[in-house]
Amino acid sequence: MKYQIAILVENKPGVLTHVSGLISRRAFNIETINAGYTEEDDVTRINIVVNASDNMELNKVIHQMAKLIDVIKIVNISELPSISRELILVKVKADSPGVRADIVNIANIFRAHIVDVGHQNVVIELTGEQDKLAALVDMLGCYEVLEIARTGPVALSRGITPIKNM
Amino acid sequence: MRINGARAVIESLKNEDVEIVFGYPGGAVLTLYDEIYKTKFPHILTKHEQGAVHAADGYARATGKIGVCIATSGPGATNLITGIATANIDSIPLVCITGQVATPFIGRDSFQEADVCGITSPITKHNYLVRDVRELSRVLKEAFFIAGTGRPGPVVIDIAKDVFAAEVDYEYPAEVNLRGYSGKYIGNEKDLDKAVKLLKQAEKPLVFVGGGVVSSGTYISFREFINMLGIPVTSTLMGLGCVEPEQKGNLGMAGMHGSYAANMAIMQCDLLIGIGVRFDDRVTGIMKEFAPKAKIIQFDIDYAEVNKNVVSYLSVIGDLRWSLPLLCKKTKIYAEKIKKNSAQWIDYVIKMHKNNPFSYKKSDNHIMAQEIIEKTAELTENDTIAVTDVGQHQMWAAQFFKVYGPRHFITSGGLGTMGYGLPAAMGAKIGCPDKAVVLFTGDGSIMMNCQEMATLADYDINVKIIVIHNHVLGMVTQWQRMFYGKRYSQSILNSKADIVKIAQAMGIKGIRIDEKTDLIKILKQTLAQQGPALIDVNVPDTEDVLPMVPGGKRLDQMIMESEAANK
Ligand SMILES: Cc1ncc(C[n+]2csc(CCOP(=O)(O)OP(=O)(O)O)c2C)c(N)n1
């Protein structure tokens, strides 16, 4: 099972390594991980997706992480009503007018944006849920994909309560 | 007060009531050592940083205070690693202060640079790299708070060389403010009520006590609970001393080398109350078959311990200082009922233990290791602190030394660190100068940090070292004998090194005992003398620690002495 977890941590050097080190040491596979600023200057939010066999296994790692002094809050977002998004940038080879038109079409259907065009390539940007991104990548598979960059999903719970107050 | 960083460290140590530090100087901490010189701060110079950290650990285990050690950057700091890991797995509070290269040199592979925070992060409760002198007092305050509260553990403070020299307006913070850590764990009273209910229903209850009761200082409540209900108790290696040796229903240690009755009782009980135990694999036998008939209740301060190794039916999470007194209070009214329900079981278990005590083959010619431990126990006061190294002698000490109170049996449980004993014994004696300290060690283990005998001599630290000399890496040969077709690969020592002469060369008394008739006399004499001494006793090389639960077996599949004799 894949689980999405949000971790609020002190914005200090080394914390991300601490968290990721602990997860991998306990033999969990981190699918994606990203960290970014939050509404508070000194708090970083780490978003991770991990693979765990079940809730009990997941809770083990959550409890281990909760022990880290720099971890302020940790929440299993998969348990909550939430919105999850991931950003992808795809660079595709487009050296003929026909291919270029195809790709623009595909981008439109996915409501993606063409964010850069060159003589030989285009770059497409798309934000959405993971399966939508996967569908785009699948479609573009018929063309020559030169490069992909993805953020990994980030998620927020629905409703008025921020996870720091949960 | 305008002072430099080094002085700020010293002032902070004073503010934390630190009595003494163990350490070893070097380039990155010279400014700190200069302040130690100027302020005459009590310091023990060990011969190796590993000695310093184990000594701080032994001091902490014996006193319940926080142990402090100091090392320089790079090799000094990395020499602490084994000791930090040892303390971490046994939840021992330490503050380790290491020097780091000056801030402009950090991250450049500078001379004597090592990434101490990176290296120690998996084996510490927390760690800090201090690059700014203005953070120093806050970090020290936090470090002591974190090390000593909640589930205790080691904290490393890595301080850049220039921070020691930089000036600061020193003020020690009055309190700690950490968003992610409170150090207080008050649990849910409803869980306790559920525990009491289960107790009321139980017919075959068993208590399983561990190091958590030692570190939380709750053995008085714990004993009150046991006495009140008369429930049989078994202990982990780390929990030895929580139960009085003469307590009715005390089954001694459980697990791989636990008593027959303890292991059988675990397999047969219908309620197992684990208090401050983490169900380490050395104690459970095959985990899935641990206490198969029992509902397990787990009392622990640490959420992460719940269902980590064995699945519990109920967990009471919270500080034992909260839960144990409340448990006593809540069970009191049902005490008679609980006793009555389990009367048959209690008799059965006590009889089982009486018929199957820890025992060994006696010999007319040879001095037996177990005998040395038994005799030493008889010849010493009840408040003697026994320290061990790791191996067969450690298990025999756990089986045969009578431990009268918590903090009186000091051993490396979780990591099983050979070389731990001598420096830990030194730290224990420094922390408890009024108590006798005896170290049981093996001819393998003693060599791992034998240089610290010189520290005993230099400071005249009255530790009595008893080397149980079987000329082999005993625990290794036992496994090779049992599971590797008696192929004694690299485990026969028969070393040419003369341990008695090493002791003498290091400046302490050394005596050898070969003859059985000399044992008591020399033991008695040596234990009564002032000052450090080493006794080297020759014992047979083919003894096994029994009972033994082989790896991958259930606790009731022990190999017993009688069976081993027939193999
Ligand atoms: C640092 C370290 N290295 C290796 C081991 C593995 N080990 C466990 S017991 C043992 C033998 C100990 O021999 P000795 O100290 O002579 O004690 P004995 O078992 O003979 O009583 C060894 C090598 C260990 N526990 N620690």
The per-residue pLDDT for B204 is 98
Three-state SS letters, B203-238:
CCEEEEECHHHHHHCCHHHHHHHHHHHCCCEEECHH
| Nearest neighbour of B304 by CB, restricted to A9, A14, A67 | A67
Distance CA B543, CA B372 (A): 14
Q: What are phi and psi of A75, to 5 degrees?
A: -135, 135
Distance A118 CA to ligand 1 centre (A): 68
The per-residue pLDDT for B391 is 98
Three-state SS for B107?
Answer: coil
pLDDT for A17-34, tens place per residue?
889 988 888 778 899 999
Which residue, chain included where needed, has tokens 């909760």? A66
> In the predicted model, is pLDDT for residue A61 greater than 90?
no
> In the predicted model, is pLDDT for residue A132 greater than 90?
yes
Residue B70 CB partners (closer than 8 Å, separation 6+): B21, B22, B23, B24, B25, B29, B32, B43, B52, B96, B97, B98
Q: Which two tokens stand for residue B72?
A: 């320089």
Give the residue on A whose Cα is nearest the Cα of B150: A67
With CB atoms and an 8 Å threshold, state whether A69 touches B146: yes
What is the DSSP code (8-state) at residue A72?
Answer: E
Residue A13 CB partners (closer than 8 Å, separation 6+): B129
The per-residue pLDDT for A39 is 96
Give the residue on A whose Cα is nearest the Cα of B115: A14
User: Do B275 and B247 form a contact (C-beta atoms < 8 A)?
Assistant: no
pLDDT for B410-447, tens place per residue?
999 999 999 999 999 999 999 999 999 999 999 999 99
Angle, vertex CA B261, rays to CA B256 and CA B264, nearest 5: 70
Mean pLDDT rounded to a whole number for chain B:
96
Mean pLDDT on B6-23:
98
Q: How many CB pairs under 8 A join A and B?
A: 44
User: Do B181 and B146 form a contact (C-beta atoms < 8 A)?
Assistant: yes
| Nearest neighbour of A69 by CB, restricted to B129, B180, B302 | B180
Residues of B in contact with A9 (CB under 8 A): 180
**Cα dihedral B24, B27, B29, B32 sign:** positive
Distance B426 CA to ligand 1 centre (A): 20
Q: For an interface test with B, give the residue of A69, A72, A73, A75 to mutate (most B CBs within 10 A).
A: A69
What is the strand order of the sheet B463-469 is part of? B409-410, B385-388, B437-442, B463-469, B533-538, B509-513
Mean pLDDT on B242-247:
95
Mean pLDDT on A33-62:
92
Q: What is this model's ipTM?
A: 0.89
> In the predicted model, is pLDDT for residue B562 greater than 80?
no
Distance B393 CA to ligand 1 centre (A): 10
Chain centre to alpha carbon of residue B75: 25
B residues 295-334 near A, CB within 8 Å? 302-304, 306-308
Distance CA B271, CA B277 (A): 15
- Tell me the shortest Cα–Cα distance from B124 to chain A, in angstroms: 10
The per-residue pLDDT for B564 is 63
> In the predicted model, is pLDDT for residue A7 greater than 80?
yes
Instruction: Judge whether A116 is closer than 8 Å to chain B, CB to CB.
Output: no
- Tell me the shortest Cα–Cα distance from B5 to chain A, in angstroms: 22
Neighbours of B45 (CB within 10 A): 14
A140 to each of A86, A91, A92, A129, B264, how far by Cα in Å?
A: 18, 10, 8, 17, 65
Mean pLDDT on B258-286:
97
- pLDDT-derived band at B565, boundaries 50, 70, 90: low
Q: Is the CB of B442 under 6 A from ligand 1?
A: yes
> In the predicted model, is pLDDT for residue A158 greater than 70?
yes
- pLDDT-derived band at B144, boundaries 50, 70, 90: very high
Q: Is the CB of B445 under 6 A from ligand 1?
A: yes
With CB atoms and an 8 Å threshold, state whether B181 touches A64: no
Q: Is the CB of B418 under 6 A from ligand 1?
A: yes
> In the predicted model, is pLDDT for residue B74 greater than 80?
yes
Distance CA B211, CA B277 (A): 6
B256 to each of B72, B90, B132, B137, B280, how far by Cα in Å?
A: 39, 18, 49, 45, 11
A152 to each of A30, A128, A130, B39, B380, how far by Cα in Å?
A: 11, 11, 8, 55, 64
| pLDDT: which is higher, B308 or B432 | B432
> In the predicted model, is pLDDT for residue B555 greater than 80?
yes
Instruction: Judge whether B382 is closer than 8 Å to chain A, CB to CB.
Output: no
With CB atoms and an 8 Å threshold, state whether A72 touches B179: yes
User: Do B436 and B458 form a contact (C-beta atoms < 8 A)?
Assistant: no
DSSP B373-404: HHHHHHHS-TTPEEEE-SSHHHHHHHHHSPP-
Mean pLDDT on A112-136:
95
pLDDT for B191-238, tens place per residue?
999 999 999 999 999 999 999 999 999 999 999 999 999 999 999 999
With CB atoms and an 8 Å threshold, state whether B125 touches A21: no
pLDDT for B341-398, tens place per residue?
999 999 999 999 999 999 999 999 999 999 999 999 999 999 999 999 999 999 999 9
The per-residue pLDDT for A29 is 85
> In the predicted model, is pLDDT for residue B566 greater than 70?
no
Instruction: Judge whether B146 is closer than 8 Å to chain A, CB to CB.
Output: yes
- pLDDT-derived band at B536, boundaries 50, 70, 90: very high
Peptide bond into A97 cis (omega under 30): no
Mean pLDDT on B155-178:
98
pTM of the predicted protein model: 0.96
The percentage of residues in chain B with a pLDDT greater than 70, rounded to a whole number, is 99
Mean pLDDT on B135-152:
98
Neighbours of B105 (CB within 10 A): 18
